[in-house]
Amino acid sequence: MRLLLVEDDRDMVSWLSLALKQSGFVTDLAPDARTAEALLAAGTRYDAIVLDLGLPDRHGFTVLSRLRDARDSTPVLLLTAQAALPDRVRGLNLGADDFLAKPFAIEELEARLTALIRRSHGHGHSRLECGSLAYDSENRGFSLGGQLMSVTPREHAALTALLMRAGSVVDKSQLSGKVFPQDSNVGPDAIELVLHRVRRKLAGSDVRVVTVRGLGYMLEKQAGAGDADA
């Protein structure tokens, strides 16, 4: 079983990785959010992620919410500094699967990880669809009419946000925040450029991105297209 351990405390990391290895887990280490996100973006599949909330570059909640925004359903166990109730509630709302307050016994971590992984293997991976456009959480890829689509990370973020709410309007600034999460200085036209490229890639299919003036954007299946054989 393969784990991603996202933790900046070196003593904790060396203790945990040794103990987890002895228990048969293969563990990749990330000392910060940036490294964790790079490992995840590289497409490595993990059976579970152990995520510390207090990371040097970003809060663990940010890592978690980006993961879930990207429709990645890998089980996440959060490590919290103390058993703070607000953290637990927030973490659950963001899609965490379990918590462990520091300090903890390695046996407890192992027991919880094993339970999490067992539960998650009981579920299939999720698939989102709108017309002939589909997103598969297993390989994190989009396909159009069964053909894998080649998209940039920004196009991926835009399509994910639109597909999750297909048929409803996604607010322009919200969408912009998902596509340019690091950059508060992007102009209002930046998102238009990304959507222009997304539209070109969807051209000729039964799905399109429509602009709803003053509100935002909406992914929809075009009436008539592909309905005949539905």
From 5-13, 93-101, 131-139, 147-155, give the range in contact with Ca ion by CB under 5 A. 5-13
Residue 64, judged by CB atoms within 10 A of its CB (0-12, 13-18, 19+), counts as buried
Q: How far is the CB of 22 from Ca ion (least distance, A)?
A: 23
- Given the complex with Ca ion, which of 20 and 55 has the nearer CB atom? 55
Cα–Cα distance between 230 and 227 in angstroms, integer? 5
Q: Which of 139, 151, 136, 165 is nearest to 200 (CA)?
A: 151
- Given the complex with Ca ion, which of 49 and 191 has the nearer CB atom? 49
- Given the complex with Ca ion, which of 102 and 201 has the nearer CB atom? 102
Q: How far is the CB of 54 from Ca ion (least distance, A)?
A: 4
How many amino acids of this chain bind Ca ion (CB under 5 A)? 3
Fill in the amino acid letter for 54: G
Whether 64 and 76 have beta carbons less than 8 Å apart is answered as yes
Q: How far is the CB of 164 from Ca ion (least distance, A)?
A: 30
Please give the full DSSP string across 101-162, using - where no structure is assigned: ESS--HHHHHHHHHHHHHHHHTSPPPEEEETTEEEETTTTEEEETTEEPP--HHHHHHHHHH
Site for Ca ion in 24-53 (CB under 5 A): 52
Site for Ca ion in 72-131 (CB under 5 A): none
Q: In terms of DSSP bridges, do strands 141-144 and 133-136 run parallel, antiparallel, or are they unpaired?
A: antiparallel
Q: How far is the CB of 78 from Ca ion (least distance, A)?
A: 12
Q: How far is the CB of 81 from Ca ion (least distance, A)?
A: 8
From 2-10, 15-23, 127-135, 149-157, give the range in contact with Ca ion by CB under 5 A. 2-10
- Given the complex with Ca ion, which of 52 and 97 has the nearer CB atom? 52
- Given the complex with Ca ion, which of 8 and 28 has the nearer CB atom? 8
Interaction of residue 8 with Ca ion, rule CB under 5 A: yes
Q: How far is the CB of 68 from Ca ion (least distance, A)?
A: 21
Q: Which of 148, 126, 132, 105 is nearest to 222 (CA)?
A: 132
Cα–Cα distance between 143 and 227 in angstroms, integer? 19
Cα–Cα distance between 55 and 4 in angstroms, integer? 14
Interface contacts to Ca ion, rule CB under 5 A:
8, 52, 54
